[in-house]
Chain A
Amino acid sequence: GAVVSQHPSRVICKSGTSVKIECRSLDFQATTMFWYRQFPKKSLMLMATSNEGSKATYEQGVEKDKFLINHASLTLSTLTVTSAHPEDSSFYICSARDLAGRSTDTQYFGPGTRLTVL
């Protein structure tokens, strides 16, 4: 199947700093990528839909100025957590839709990024 990578896999930062997480589709092009957040023992919560070449669509309750999303190419989307605080500590997961896929099950998840804010 298609591969989606995320970098970094783990990051620890001080409160008030910004952290950038990259999501790459390695062997396919993705016009749409999704960013999820998962707290311990909770399910995935969709944060935003990232569209190549246009502004991201944020879910209700997600601050777009705090979680900056850039989808500059068909293989890369980035999520920047600005002025991170301890409550932002979570598991961030991206997924990407295969541009060539005709069935909806061609949405592939990255391995996730564990963010810890001290």
Chain B
Amino acid sequence: GQNIDQPTEMTATEGAIVQINCTYQTSGFNGLFWYQQHAGEAPTFLSYNVLDGLEEKGRFSSFLSRSKGYSYLLLKELQMKDSASYLCAVHSGGYQKVTFGTGTKLQVIP
């Protein structure tokens, strides 16, 4: 089976930096996704990491360590609109099966 852990909630200040961690245990690991989901809406794709290391996309960066089963999403220059749930999801096996973690609800405060 798969086990994906991430903090339930986090609070950060507008303009600051926040790091959301995700640890996982799985077999047949292919890669790791990060999605953003606003309340009542479908998830939107943020990043997909296959290799170890940090990938940067504007204000968002994602890091992966395959040997440690660990990833994090780094959000810089936080904006109020970044308040959302951030879902860590593991891609494993065939047919692109993706298993989601429970999500981290981020609240950005002024």
Contacts and interface: CB of A to CB of B under 8 A. Distances in A.
Contacts of A111: 41-42
Contacts of B41: 111-112
B26 interface: no
Nearest to A93: B42
Interface size class of B (residues with CB under 8 A): 20 to 34
Nearest to B46: A105
Contacts of A95: 98
Interface string A83-118: 000000001010101000001110111111010000
A12 interface: no
A42 to B, nearest CB: 7
B42 A45 contact: no
A46 B97 CA distance: 8
Name which of B30, B96, B101, B103 has the most chain A CB atoms within 10 A of its CB.
B96
B43 interface: yes
B87 A43 contact: yes
22 contacts: A34-B96, A36-B100, A43-B100, A43-B101, A46-B97, A46-B98, A49-B97, A57-B95, A93-B43, A97-B96, A103-B48, A104-B30, A104-B48, A104-B50, A105-B45, A105-B47, A107-B45, A107-B96, A107-B98, A109-B43, A109-B44, A111-B41
Interface of A: 32, 34, 36, 42-46, 49, 51, 57, 91, 93, 95, 97, 103-105, 107-112, 114
B107 interface: no
A34 B98 contact: yes
A109 B97 contact: no
A65 B98 CA distance: 23
A108 B98 CA distance: 12
Contacts of B50: 104
A42 B98 contact: no
Contacts of A44: 43, 87, 100
Contacts of B31: 104
Contacts of A108: 45
B42 A110 contact: yes
A-B residue pairs, 4 tightest by C-beta: A105-B48, A109-B42, A44-B100, A43-B100
